[in-house]
Amino acid sequence: MSFQHSIKIPRERIGALIGKRGKVKQQIEKKCGVAIEIDSETGDATITSSKPAEHMEAFRAIEVITAISRGFSPERAYYLFEDEEIMFQQLDLHDYAGKSPSTLARIRGRIIGEGGKARRMIEELTGSYISVYGHTVAFIGNYREVKLATDAISMLAKGSMHKSVYAMLQGVKSKDKLERMRLWEDNVEKDATTPSES
């Protein structure tokens, strides 16, 4: 066996990883050319592949499995299959809360917001997917989306007001829009001044 890796899956996420009639597990195995063994008692998942470790498919399988284990639906985790630019990242809230369960609960509450509003708002403004699960916050998106979302969550975890976080994200969004407009205008001008071939 050229590649082997083990991941601990929370017991309540095992069903999501296996899927109805094993469909999710089979899909990951097929897409990544790996075999996945899951011990339902211990929550240990072992990913094996006969391909050499430098083949990225096995690492993609690890990312997708980890994403599902950290609260993402399989549908959202599959987004990692769509493009090499898409990445998975997670933040440990213990870094902000220390060992205090009440501080952890308070920070989680601020990140999720009433009825999930804060999390949804950050997803909307950054273009990333966010999952708050246990003591982690996980992200799926391209590098820029994930970096923005991580910065926003970090600000909330450190005690910034929701208003300030949204304003920061809105500012970045507006700046990006202006830059895209400028690029488009430059290209239009360039096209107008380029003599057309007759």
pLDDT-derived band at 54, boundaries 50, 70, 90: low
Identify any residues that bridge with 4 across adjacent strands, giving them in sequence order: 48
What fold characterizes domain 83-182?
Ribosomal Protein S8; Chain: A, domain 1 (3.30.1370)
Cα dihedral value 92, 97, 98, 101, nearest 10: -100
**H or E segment to which residue 95 belongs:** helix 94-97
| pLDDT score at 198 | 46
**H or E segment to which residue 59 belongs:** helix 56-69
Choose among 156, 157, 128: nearest CA to 140: 128
**pLDDT tens digits along 111-151:** 999 999 999 999 999 999 999 999 999 999 999 999 999 99
Q: Token pair for residue 99? A: 């060992």
Please tell me the pTM assigned to this model.
0.85
**pLDDT tens digits along 58-93:** 889 999 999 999 999 999 999 999 988 999 999 999
CA–CA distance, 85 with 90 (Å, rounded to integer): 16
- 1-82: CATH, from 3.40.50.11540, 3.30.70.20, 3.20.20.70, 3.30.1370.10: 3.30.1370.10
> So where are the chain's domains?
1-82, 83-182
CA 38 to chain CA centroid, nearest Å? 23
